[in-house]
Amino acid sequence: MGYIMELRRAAGSRPLIMTGACVILINNDKEILLQLRKDNDCWGLAGGSLEIGETLEQAAKRELLEETGLMANKLELFNVYSGENFYYKYPHGDEVYNVISAYVCSDYEGIMTSEASEVKELSFFKLNELPQNINPPDSPILSEYIRSALFQGVLREFEK
């Protein structure tokens, strides 16, 4: 049983501060990998909760591998998120205030396979063609990443 599940047994569905990590995985075509989650039928980033003794980078790599079958060779910290915008109530009633370390990965290997108990589907999307139903805690992360990617593209054009 994982750490969060043990806390849930004691705390019930009351709000918990949940520390975790997610991965913004980018392929060679500059598309982003999203997973269609089974719990809320929304598209989101691979990621999850930190386990006891684990680093945030280890959690990001573990969750990516578990949920997608892909192994990150290199992760780059993008940003750390917390606060009111990262409150989330799961469909089954558990409440959390997320503290999320988001990593970017474009150096990975493996064969993409979805984790059957959590993931309905895995798909790469162009940054300007993301689905409408984005997982609420992932939405601000994706928005910031897209703004950053667009800004970097503008800078490259400006430097030419």
Dump pLDDT digits (tens) for 74-132: 999 999 999 999 999 988 899 999 999 999 999 999 999 988 888 999 999 999 999 99
CB burial of 10-25 (b: ≥16 within 10 Å; e: otherwise) equals eeeeeebebbbbbbbb
Which of the residues 31, 54, 95, 121 is marked catalytic? 121
pLDDT of residue 69: 96
Q: Which domains does the chain have, with CATH numbers?
A: 3-159 (3.90.79.10)
Q: Give the pLDDT band (50/70/90) at residue 137.
A: very high
pLDDT of residue 1: 58
Residue 66 a catalytic site member: no
The answer, yes or no, to whether residue 157 has pLDDT greater than 90, is: no
For residue range 8-35, list pLDDT tens digits in order. 888 888 898 999 999 999 999 999 999 9
